[in-house]
Amino acid sequence: MAGNPRFEQKIVRAVLWTMTGATILILLFIVAFILRRGLPEVSLEFLTRNPENMGVEGGIFPTIVGTLALTLMAIVIATPLGVGTAIYLTEYTWENRLTRIIRFGADCLAGIPSILFGLFGFILFVTKLKLGWSILSGGLTLSFMILPTIIRTSEEAIRSVPAAYREVSASLGCTKWQTVTRVVLPSALPGITTGVILSIGRSIGETAAVIFTAGSSLHIPTSLFSSSRTMAVHFYILAREGISMPNAYGTAAVLVATILMINIVSYYLMHRFTRKYS
């Protein structure tokens, strides 16, 4: 084999393609498995009714409300912080020690496991600040978790706006801030939106950080201070405690279908955005 590089290449190529094919198959298997077993359980009633008997019967309506509330909260807090950081890094400074510290901080934050965010949120928001298990505690914790993603995607989006746009705006006598808000941000918007949508996906699927900060109450949340259970937490409890397999499959199907749609939308947006500037 060593004597024939072409033959060796053929074999290696086949092996590598097989492994790539296996990766794709695993993904397709996971999605198909959950949807095929779960979708038959999903009905309008399943989505709009309250769970009964701890989730043995009934639907998942409160968990949908809880998921939406927590995600919205996280996005509302993290987006201005993330986009602001990205604007500062791209428009208001050059590469120096300060930007390296900021980037390193964001990278480290991205690497922290969600259970540590959960521990931190539990001790700071739930215990020390006495917010209890609530949408507020959970939303704040989640927003910290998704911040690095929003910073990174916004920075990439802003950087890909051609320099000529800024030069024209400046030559017309606009201040930096006018250039940023009226020229750069509108052009970078689809890219920034992609990052936000990906973060929504991450918030929806998160369990470890949420279960210790938002709690697992099955009531429909009425204020920012109510405890609430998300779909992911509900699914985890149903599956792990073996409460109801059909309802677990149903919840999983809703979860996976939502995330599938979110990824498709963000991919479509990103594709359109990169085509525009390349």
Partner 1 sequence: MTRLERNDRLIRLGLLMIAFSAVSILIVITLFIFSEGTPIMFKYGPGRFLFGLDWYPSEKAFGLLPMIVGSFFVTAGALLVGVPMGLACAIVLTQFASKRVGRILKPVIELLAGIPSVVYGFIGIVVIVPLIRENLGGPGLSVLAASLVLGVMILPTVISISIDAFQAVPPTYREGSIALGATVWQTIRMVMFPAARSGIVAAVILGMGRAIGETMAVIMIAGNAAAIPGSPLAPVRTLTSNIALEMGYASGEHREALFATGVILFVIIMALNILANWTSARRKR
Indicate the residue among 27 and 47 with the shorter CB distance to partner 1: 27
Which string of x and - marks every residue 92-131 that binds partner 1 (by CB under 8 A)? x--------xx-xxxxxx-xxxxxxxxxx-xxx-------
Q: Which of 64, 131, 146, 151 binds partner 1 (CB under 8 A)?
A: 151
Indicate the residue among 75 and 87 with the shorter CB distance to partner 1: 87
Q: Which of 204, 214, 218, 269 binds partner 1 (CB under 8 A)?
A: 204
Number of residues that bind partner 1 (CB under 8 A): 80
- Does residue 15 touch partner 1 according to CB under 8 A? yes
Q: What's the longest Cα–Cα distance across the chain? A: 73
- Does residue 232 touch partner 1 according to CB under 8 A? yes
Minimum distance from CB of 50 to partner 1 (Å)? Answer: 22
Angle between helices 61-91 and 231-240 (to 10 degrees): 130
Minimum distance from CB of 164 to partner 1 (Å)? Answer: 22
Q: Which stretch binds partner 1 (CB under 8 A): 49-57, 68-76, 160-168, 194-202?
A: 194-202
Report the distance separating Cα 193 and Cα 154, nearest Å.
8
Question: Bridge-partner residues for 57, per DSSP?
Answer: 52
Indicate the residue among 34 and 192 with the shorter CB distance to partner 1: 34
- Does residue 240 touch partner 1 according to CB under 8 A? yes
Indicate the residue among 56 and 222 with the shorter CB distance to partner 1: 56
Minimum distance from CB of 192 to partner 1 (Å)? Answer: 15
Indicate the residue among 46 and 235 with the shorter CB distance to partner 1: 235
Give residues 30-59 in contact with partner 1 (rule: CB under 8 A). Answer: 30-31, 33-34
For residue 237, the tally of other CB atoms under 10 A from its CB is 20
